[in-house]
Amino acid sequence: MVNLIGTYECKVDAKGRLMVPAPLKKQLSPMLQDGFVLKRAVFQPCLELYPMERWEKMMAKINSLNPFLKKNNDFIRTFTAGVRTVEVDANGRLLIPKDLVAFAKIDKEIVLASAAGIIEIWDKDKYEATLNATAGDFGALAEEVMGNIDFDGIS
């Protein structure tokens, strides 16, 4: 599995196409042949771009849920709502379907942000607002989430 690195600002055209920045395209090159899955994020008003290999691992876990439990069935339906397979075309563009553009309230300027092996696709203003909203208490959040993990001398 590749750990993607970077945050990139770019534009999306009226048809929902974005030009994948060259440094990101280079990182994604081993995955271009297999394609990607684009979906709504669970917690934020953004989209998540999964390399197909990572998506298949995620779906293996989700498919192990018992669909005859209502909460599992509701989760599966909502988690997979609007899911699309997408590819980077020969010109290096990625097409975001209109319903997903509407979900993320994407205008013209967007941010592609690496996040634990996936790429989040944000409207630029919403991305900056989200970062600003969590910046004040990020130290406390980092301590709560990561404070009990042994990093073998890495800090």
Tell me the per-residue pLDDT of 14-32, one tens digit each, with 9 for 90 and over. 999 999 999 999 998 888 8
Q: What is the CATH number of the domain that holds 40?
A: 3.40.1550.20
* Location of structure tokens 């509701």: 74
pLDDT (0 to 100) of residue 151: 73
Domain count, the chain: 1
Q: Does residue 2 form part of some domain?
A: no
Classify each residue of 100-123 as buried b or exposed e, where b means 16 or more C-beta atoms within 10 Å of its C-beta.
bbebbebeeebbbbbeeebbbbbb
User: The domain containing residue 132 runs over which residues?
Assistant: 7-146
Find out whether 9 and 124 touch, Cβ atoms under 8 Å. Answer: yes
Q: What is the pTM of this model?
A: 0.89
